């Protein structure tokens, strides 16, 4: 279904939706704003007593509150940055429909400044941020000048002209009385004068038994009956809406706030507890498909550019290194024949002065060919009085005015300069490789997250960290970075806990939450392996590393007098208990709950507890390759076995250690998985 075939919210649906959103969003705070496609925005919200939700806005189509997450781009465009600057942290104080039109006003406040965020679903749609006190435009998705108003930065925000008359207003009767004898059809007349969706007019005509195409002068006074029916339908929607989605026999989807008599060719109906839920059902999957198409197309184009760039960099590196080899060999050989080269330079200098250029070329060529043991091309540049020799396509210039030693020294200087250039190119290649990995990861994340709608749930406090449960049921948490290490030590570490750290710079603070109970050596060994895996040791490709543990009461953030501790650093007092040569290994395991499956990362010491597992150690398989292969395998398996996978590429990327991988074994449902290095 193309975007043109997707229904646009009507003013009646917006009326019901706004009433639902008003109850939910009042008091919500904006966490962030993303532009996930050219015309799709999402506002990440924290709603008291509900948690995190996303308000999705498809410009010109729809708006709804979602319990599902969509992929967020890492590089926000300018409009997104403007909205973030003003609205991140803002509080939603009200939401309402403007003048029974397809316009939603969201009123916000931040630092005593009041904003109006206008969502225009009319025409091709727009998002406009307005300073509510001055009524001036701060930012807009689309800036444009129109016949009836202008949307320009700093300009006064003016509402679009009303499309018609409110059916409950006093003016509506006068307007209809002026056209009661019109030869135009009833539907066309009412569409011109009333600000109501076309479906409502057709439904009112159907319920009154009047053909919408009938000429108005024939219907005459019955047009007032149609108006009454329209009013009754709106009241019914206000008092007791029946949100549903119907699918016609032709496959067309239609949103409804009531059951309509005009819906005759219906193949299915699906009822929902709220209109927001019905809208989400219609739009969410299509938004994901649209995001996938735009994001993957953009990322793949960037990837193609990066592939071309890295190939050009590699070619440049080869050329530089080849020139370095040639120049270095030439300089070294010439150095061993310094006396001969000095004699040749003196003779050539005299020949050039006497304009015996051909003789000079022959002399240099024969001498260098004999010394270098390879063919040499020689050319005299008379204007510069320079001898240019070419060895293996590498051009070298000798200046007869300078001594042999100085000429050779200049060749060595060029070798040094080229080696520095070589290092710069190598660094540039590494940066390009990193960028390619980022883009490949982005493509994987989008493709995989589009396939599965992962329902948001309230997370436990420890799920922000790395975590697992030991064989004896103890919770183990580890920091993902210095900031989280700091948080664990300051907020979550209790005196009776056990703290572990790998004997290497760049290790997480790992804490076993003992709850005051005795911890076995097996629990400590599992936590030690977990610590080793997520230390720098995995990235360095080490097979094992020492890990020590202490009691939490030995750990403090207070440095000795006169010293300072950086973020993530801490002091340990007393004896350290070492576990020597702790092996680095993890298992990617499957946890089941009925038909729902989740992939978890646990230390390999605990792998035997899981039937379905992949045991991994440091190796050469790229992280992106591992994630892509595993998720595609699981997705295929989920379809075959009617399972629902609750893991995304982004989650796996966060949960797995940084570096390469080698597969030791695949058991259970992973028995058919193959990952080539």
Do 433 and 479 have their domain in common?
no
Distance, CA of 230 to CA of 232 (rounded, Å): 5
Q: Identify the residue whose tokens are 């209809």.
A: 176
Do 217 and 229 have their domain in common?
yes
Do 201 and 306 have their domain in common?
no
Number of domains the chain contains = 5
pLDDT for position 467: 94
What string of DSSP letters covers 359-394?
Answer: HHHHHHHHHHHHHHTS--EEEEETTTTEEEEEETTE
Q: Identify the residue whose tokens are 């035997």.
A: 608
- What is the percentage of the chain residues whose pLDDT exceeds 90? 47
Strand partners, 396: 389
| Domain span holding position 183 | 171-271
pLDDT for position 452: 52
Do 430 and 308 have their domain in common?
yes
| Tens digits of residue pLDDT in 261-320 | 999 888 888 888 889 989 998 888 888 888 877 777 777 788 889 889 999 999 999 999
pLDDT for position 567: 60
Do 385 and 518 have their domain in common?
no
Domain stop point among 397, 427, 453:
453
CB contact at 8 A, 586 and 610: no
Strand partners, 618: 661
CB contact at 8 A, 320 and 422: yes
Do 499 and 637 have their domain in common?
no
Of 251-265, 454-468, 657-671, the one with minimum mean pLDDT is 454-468
Do 290 and 370 have their domain in common?
yes
Q: Is residue 157 part of a domain?
A: no
Q: At residue 457, does pLDDT exceed 70?
A: no
Q: Is residue 570 part of a domain?
A: yes
pLDDT for position 454: 41
DSSP, collapsed to helix, strand or coil, labels residue 672 as helix
Indicate the pLDDT class of residue 566, thresholds 50, 70 and 90.
low
Domain stop point among 453, 479, 510:
453
Do 425 and 474 have their domain in common?
no
Q: Is residue 161 part of a domain?
A: no
Q: Is residue 165 part of a domain?
A: no
Q: Is residue 111 part of a domain?
A: yes
CB contact at 8 A, 15 and 236: no
Q: Is residue 200 part of a domain?
A: yes
β 596-603/644-645 pair status = parallel
The continuous run of DSSP H or E covering 129 comes out as: strand 126-131
Do 528 and 634 have their domain in common?
no
Query: What is the 8-class DSSP label of residue 455?
Result: B
Cβ-in-10-Å burial (0-12, 13-18, 19+) of 393 comes to exposed
Domain stop point among 419, 434, 453:
453
| Tens digits of residue pLDDT in 220-247 | 889 899 999 999 999 999 888 989 989 8
Tell me, what CATH number does 34's domain have?
2.30.310.10
Do 8 and 147 have their domain in common?
yes
Q: What is the mean pLDDT of the chain?
A: 88
Q: At residue 95, does pLDDT exceed 50?
A: yes
Q: At residue 1, does pLDDT exceed 50?
A: no
- What is the percentage of the chain residues whose pLDDT exceeds 70? 96
Q: Is residue 188 part of a domain?
A: yes
| 377-381, 464-468, 510-514, 570-574: which is most confident | 510-514
Averaged pLDDT for residues 536-544: 93
Averaged pLDDT for residues 118-141: 94
Query: Which carries the bigger pLDDT value, residue 417 or residue 648?
Result: 417
Do 442 and 296 have their domain in common?
yes
Indicate the pLDDT class of residue 428, thresholds 50, 70 and 90.
very high
Please tell me the pTM assigned to this model.
0.55
């Amino acid at each position: 279904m193309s975007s043109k075939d997707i229904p646009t919210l009507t003013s009646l649906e917006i009326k019901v939706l706004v009433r639902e959103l008003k109850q939910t969003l009042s008091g919500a705070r904006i966490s962030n704003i993303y532009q996930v496609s050219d015309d799709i925005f999402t506002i990440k919200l924290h709603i008291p007593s509900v948690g995190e939700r996303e308000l999705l806005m498809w410009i010109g189509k729809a708006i709804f509150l979602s319990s599902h997450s969509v992929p967020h781009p890492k590089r926000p465009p300018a409009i997104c940055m403007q909205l973030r600057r003003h609205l991140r942290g803002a509080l939603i104080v009200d939401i309402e429909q403007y003048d029974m039109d397809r316009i939603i006003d969201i009123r916000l406040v931040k630092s005593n400044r009041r904003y109006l965020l206008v969502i225009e679903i009319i025409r091709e749609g727009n998002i406009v941020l307005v300073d509510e006190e001055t009524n001036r435009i701060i930012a807009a998705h689309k800036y444009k000048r129109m016949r009836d108003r202008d949307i320009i930065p700093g300009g006064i925000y003016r509402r679009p002209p009303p499309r018609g008359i409110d059916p409950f207003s006093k003016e509506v009767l006068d307007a209809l009385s002026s056209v009661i004898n019109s030869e135009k059809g009833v539907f066309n007349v009412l569409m011109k004068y009333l600000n109501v969706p076309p479906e409502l007019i057709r439904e009112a005509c159907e319920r009154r038994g009047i053909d919408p195409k009938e000429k108005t002068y024939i219907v005459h006074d019955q047009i007032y009956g149609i108006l009454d029916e329209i009013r009754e339908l709106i009241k019914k929607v206000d008092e007791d809406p029946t949100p549903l989605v119907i699918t016609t026999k032709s496959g067309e989807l239609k949103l409804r706030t009531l059951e309509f008599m005009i819906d005759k060719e219906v193949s299915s109906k699906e009822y929902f507890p709220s209109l927001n839920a019905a809208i989400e059902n219609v739009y969410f999957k299509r938004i994901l498909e649209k995001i996938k198409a735009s994001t993957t197309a953009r990322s793949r184009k960037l990837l193609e550019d990066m592939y071309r760039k890295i190939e050009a960099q590699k070619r440049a590196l080869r050329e530089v290194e080849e020139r370095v080899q040639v120049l270095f060999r030439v300089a070294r050989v010439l150095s061993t024949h310094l006396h001969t080269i000095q004699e040749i330079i003196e003779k050539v200098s005299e020949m050039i002065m006497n304009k015996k250029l051909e003789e000079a070329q022959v002399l240099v060529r024969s001498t260098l060919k004999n010394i270098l043991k390879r063919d040499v091309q020689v050319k005299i540049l008379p204007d510069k009085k320079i001898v240019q020799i070419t060895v293996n396509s590498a051009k070298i210039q000798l200046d007869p005015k300078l001594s042999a030693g100085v000429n050779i020294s200049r060749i060595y200087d060029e070798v040094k300069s080229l080696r520095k250039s070589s290092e710069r190119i190598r660094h540039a290649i590494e940066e390009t490789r990193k960028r390619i990995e980022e883009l490949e990861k982005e493509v994987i994340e989008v493709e995989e997250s589009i396939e599965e709608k992962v329902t948001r749930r309230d997370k436990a406090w420890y799920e922000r960290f790395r975590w697992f449960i030991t064989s004896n049921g103890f919770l183990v948490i580890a920091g993902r970075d210095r900031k989280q290490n700091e948080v664990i030590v300051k907020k979550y570490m209790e005196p009776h806990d056990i703290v572990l750290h790998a004997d290497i710079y760049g290790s997480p603070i790992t804490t076993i939450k003992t709850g005051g109970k005795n911890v076995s050596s097996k629990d400590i060994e599992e936590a030690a392996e977990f610590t080793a895996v997520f230390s720098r040791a995995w990235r360095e490709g080490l097979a094992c590393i020492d890990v020590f543990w202490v009691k939490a009461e030995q750990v403090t953030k207070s440095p000795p007098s006169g010293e300072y501790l950086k973020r993530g650093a801490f002091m340990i007092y007393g004896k350290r208990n070492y576990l020597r040569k702790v092996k680095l290994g993890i298992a990617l395991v499957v946890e089941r709950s009925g038909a729902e499956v989740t992939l978890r990362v646990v230390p390999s010491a605990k792998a035997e507890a899981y039937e379905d597992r992949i045991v991994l150690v440091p190796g050469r398989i790229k992280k992106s390759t591992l994630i892509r292969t595993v998720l595609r395998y699981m997705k295929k398996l989920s379809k075959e076995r009617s399972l629902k996978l609750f893991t995304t590429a982004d989650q796996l990327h966060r949960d797995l250690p940084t570096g390469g991988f080698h597969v030791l074994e695949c058991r259970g449902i992973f028995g058919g998985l193959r990952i080539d290095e």
